[in-house]
């Protein structure tokens, strides 16, 4: 006994295992998203470093500037990658660390603009790319923080210094580098816009899929798993609604309890799998031969409930008699050459201010009469 308890105590909790699996899946998805973001940052640094090399070739800046910019970009991306892969980012609600990364980039860009003002405008162009990336992830509060940081960093540069922040255009090579800086900055901003649109489209499609899945779950929760008809809980809710609607609009509403004759004998003779197929075939047949506003559901076992809104006694009897003949004349030989399936039904029409229980009671009494009257017939209460 003690050994059994010890063994059962050592078994993992299924719920805890499921939670751990979901947590790992979320972390893995977030890590992949951060890797894509870091890839974009690396590409952006490589573009800027390439343009700086052109300025170096033109003699506008010293090679140390391009080297320093590339090293700073490499160090920054390496730190961000190490933090991401270690799971440090997952400690925060914003696992992208949007504000810290944006401020770090901002200080780096403005620092280089102050260091080499002769191409200072080139570095300031990068602010558009930087804040384009930040806008993809920042909420309102984070946006205000980034904007405040931009104001705090740029104000000293413009108000406390007289550095000539410019774009060189003396030589052809300088003009080419400046052209590339402008065109590639605009191109990256357009790419960010396209990337943002792709994200919105993806979120929209996911939202549509979730709504469709939720709707499908709701439908499955209302349907009988075997026959596809409404289940008992759902069909009783529809009955209450139909009774209320009929009373409100002073319209007739009829109801039928339908039972497959000698269904137990079918199960015993041909087996339960064949019996299930008979139920499915019967339900499909009824669905195909009732009106769009009628309600049909499985009441229990081989018993079904059919609601006929805006239908009086004469019409209800005609509808049930037609359904009885259709079922009796079906070719059931696909299940067994000697198989015959018939139905009996008790039909009643609701009177004013009548409850669901009393309507069902009268329909059940009529069904009892149909059964004891020889089956394969319709009785009216």
| Residues 242, 307 contacting (CB under 8 angstroms) | yes
* Catalytic (active site) residue 302: yes
Beta bridge partners of 260: 343
Torsion of CA 37, 40, 41, 45, to 10 degrees: 170
Other beta carbons within 10 Å of 378: 24
- For residues 27 and 369, give the distance between their C-alpha atoms in angstroms, rounded to a whole number: 65
- For residues 203 and 191, give the distance between their C-alpha atoms in angstroms, rounded to a whole number: 18
For tokens 């919105």, what's the residue?
A: 200
E strand map for 183-338: 253-260, 295-300, 303-309
Residue among 219, 302, 303, 369 flagged as catalytic: 302
Beta bridge partners of 380: 347
- For residues 145 and 97, give the distance between their C-alpha atoms in angstroms, rounded to a whole number: 13
- Residues with catalytic annotation? 302
């Amino acid at each position: 006994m003690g050994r059994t308890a010890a063994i059962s105590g050592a078994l993992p909790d299924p719920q805890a295992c499921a939670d751990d699996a979901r947590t790992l899946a979320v972390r893995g998805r977030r890590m992949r998203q951060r890797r894509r973001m870091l890839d974009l940052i690396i590409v952006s640094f490589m573009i800027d470093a390439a343009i700086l090399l052109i300025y170096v070739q033109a003699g506008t800046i010293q090679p140390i500037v391009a080297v320093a910019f590339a090293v700073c970009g490499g160090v920054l991306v390496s730190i961000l990658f190490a933090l991401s892969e270690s799971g440090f980012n997952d400690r925060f609600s914003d696992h992208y660390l949007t504000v810290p990364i944006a401020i770090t980039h901002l200080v780096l860009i403005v620092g280089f603009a102050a260091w080499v003002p002769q191409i200072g405008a080139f570095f300031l162009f990068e602010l558009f790319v930087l804040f384009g990336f930040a806008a993809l992830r920042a909420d309102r509060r984070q946006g205000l923080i980034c904007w405040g940081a931009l104001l705090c960093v740029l104000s000293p540069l413009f108000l406390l210094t007289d550095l000539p922040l410019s774009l060189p255009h003396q030589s052809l090579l300088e003009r080419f580098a400046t052209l590339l800086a402008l065109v590639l900055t605009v191109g990256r901003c357009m790419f960010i816009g396209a990337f943002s649109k792709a994200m919105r489209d993806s979120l929209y499609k996911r939202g549509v899929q979730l709504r469709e899945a939720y709707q499908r779950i709701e439908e499955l929760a209302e349907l009988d798993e075997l026959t596809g008809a409404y289940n008992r809980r759902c069909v009783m809710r529809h009955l209450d609604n139909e009774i209320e609607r009929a009373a409100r609009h002073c319209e007739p509403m009829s109801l039928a309890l339908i039972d497959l004759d000698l269904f137990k004998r079918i199960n015993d003779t041909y087996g339960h799998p064949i019996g299930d197929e008979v139920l499915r075939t019967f339900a499909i047949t009824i669905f195909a031969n009732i009106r769009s506003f009628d309600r049909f559901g499985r009441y229990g076992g081989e018993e079904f409930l059919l609601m006929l809104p805006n239908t009086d006694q004469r019409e209800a009897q005609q509808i049930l008699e037609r359904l009885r003949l259709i079922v009796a004349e079906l070719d059931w030989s696909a299940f067994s050459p000697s198989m015959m399936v018939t139905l009996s039904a008790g039909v009643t029409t609701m009177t004013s201010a009548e409850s669901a229980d009393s309507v069902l009671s009268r329909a059940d009494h009529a069904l009892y009469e149909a059964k004891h009257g020889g089956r394969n017939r319709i009785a009216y209460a």
